[in-house]
Amino acid sequence: MTEKEILLANRQNLRLIDQITIRENENLTNISSEMPCVVHLNNMQHLGIEQMNEFGTSLLRLSHDELISLGENFVKNYLHPEDVKLEIPNLIRFYGNADLDESYTFCQRVYDTKKRDYYWMLTTTKICRTEDLLISTSLPFNQVNHLTKKVNLALNDNVFMRKNWEKFASLSKREREVFNLIATGKSNTEIGELLFVSRETIKRHRKNIYYKLEINSIAGVLRYARAFVL
């Protein structure tokens, strides 16, 4: 499995968890065995933890009640201040879009109280369908061997996301559809046939996409596609 396949699996797991909590009214603390990653619900006002599965509480070396009682102090005590400063504006913009089908992936550092140091985690988050919360899955880099060999690449992509999130978010829903198809290597004619529009319409969409993202070639498209895990 490649690193991109793992990221895509992370997004699929997140959607599945969201569906389970809707259909079965299941508490996140009960789905640890089915999802071997950290699963958590965050309060959007202060990002404190509302729920977390056993996989996550064991990593933090806290009971579930201890974790919940931290409230907004969870961010102060366990997340790296530089990551908080950089990512909170992105999460606020993401949350403000109110798109229940979209997800956002980023890297963050979490404090290990035993080692007294931070470790990197890959987090994918989306808006919960049943509550005014963010539901997320997080995976420590050191638990995925081939990812640990490519940490620098992943972190570089994360920096790119932070710098270019606003540009990418400016794309309309149709432009994102066209963007995804461009990233797969399809021509304007092929995209037009798939979307039932003319080749000229796709050319206009491509021009607008390039303008909004400030790119001028397919290489730029692929750079965005890799960073935003499309």
Q: Are residues 154 and 177 in the same domain?
A: no
159 and 174 in one domain? Answer: no
- Answer with the one of 142, 163, 184 that is the final residue of a domain: 163
Give the whole-angstrom CA distance, residue 12 versus residue 95. Answer: 19
Which of 144, 163, 182 terminates a domain? The answer is 163
Reduced to 3 states (helix: H, G, I; strand: E, B; else coil), residue 160 is: helix
Averaged pLDDT for residues 13-27: 58
Both 60 and 95 in one domain: the answer is: yes
Higher pLDDT, 1 or 83: 83
CATH of the domain at 90: 3.30.450.20
Indicate if 115 and 32 belong to the same structural domain. Answer: yes
Q: Which pLDDT tens digit goes with each residue over 99-113?
A: 888 888 888 899 999
Q: Are residues 83 and 192 in the same domain?
A: no
- Lowest mean per-residue pLDDT among 57-61, 114-118, 143-147: 143-147
pLDDT at 22 (0 to 100):
47
The pLDDT, as a whole number, for residue 20 is 56
Distance (Å, whole) CA 35 – CA 55:
9
**pLDDT tens digits, one per residue of 135-193:** 888 888 766 544 444 555 555 666 677 788 888 889 999 999 999 999 888 899 999 99
Residue 74 has pLDDT above 80, yes or no: yes
Percent of the chain scoring above 70 in pLDDT: 76
Segment 1-10, tens digit of pLDDT: 455 556 666 6
- 104 & 199 share domain: no
Which of 134, 163, 192 delimits the end of a domain? Answer: 163
**Whole-number pLDDT of residue 4:** 58
Domains of the chain: total: 2
Provide the residue range defining the domain that includes 206.
Answer: 170-227
Greater pLDDT, 19 or 203: 203
